[in-house]
Amino acid sequence: MGRDGAQLIDELFFSLLLSNPGSFFSVGNGNYLEGADTAFGPDALTKAKTQFRKQKAGPTSSAKDQKPINIRPELLVVPVELETDAELLMGSAQLMIDASGTKTKIPVDNPHRNKYRIVSAPHLSDSYYTGNSGKAWYLFANPNVISAFEIVFLNGRRTPVIERVEAPPNNMGMGFRGYIDVGVKEQDPRGAVKVKGEA
């Protein structure tokens, strides 16, 4: 019953995330990238990080809303298809680039090393969910700084309530029931960037 409660929370969150409610991830919100150059890798991660860091304070075009909010992404959320690539990129001390015969001076240190905490979720690419993709990936801010999505629990109780109930008269033994009061809602588009990972 406890596991079912955790699975319900996952299902609610990923169903909402992948449905892109109200065009939450969009060019207009400054938190969506697509194109062949967004396939997961060091260059695409640099592009996504830059997009994230350039987000503005507010939704209007007034001067005070056009100042940068200066928030860094902390979570790299990927489908399981990209998990190994993400681990290699986060764990590698150096990036070796094939210059294809072109004489170019390039840095070999990996600027992305250990910069983000990897969260890999099979839900992102599972056909059970509408909007699934094995190529799309996300950057999220620390939710304590700015929350892209919010999960709320009735009276703050994060675990299922398990209750003993009387078994029907024609059954011997004991019965149990479990429930959890939880809701998920999108909050602030500035807290996340979605990268389509393809054109």
Over residues 122-176, the pLDDT tens digits come to: 999 999 999 999 999 999 999 999 999 999 999 999 999 999 998 888 888 888 9
Average pLDDT score over residue span 56-76? 91
pLDDT, position 104: 54
Domain extent at residue 56: 2-195
pLDDT, position 35: 98
Over residues 93-107, the pLDDT tens digits come to: 888 766 665 555 556
How much is the mean pLDDT over the chain? 92
Residue type, 177: R
Average pLDDT score over residue span 43-60? 93
Could you report how far apart the first and last alpha carbons of the chain are, in Å?
A: 42
The number of distinct structural domains making up the chain is 1
CB 198 within 8 A of CB 41: no
pTM score: 0.89
pLDDT at residue 38 greater than cutoff 80: yes
CB 136 within 8 A of CB 80: no
The dihedrals phi and psi of 11, each to the nearest 5 degrees, come to -65, -45
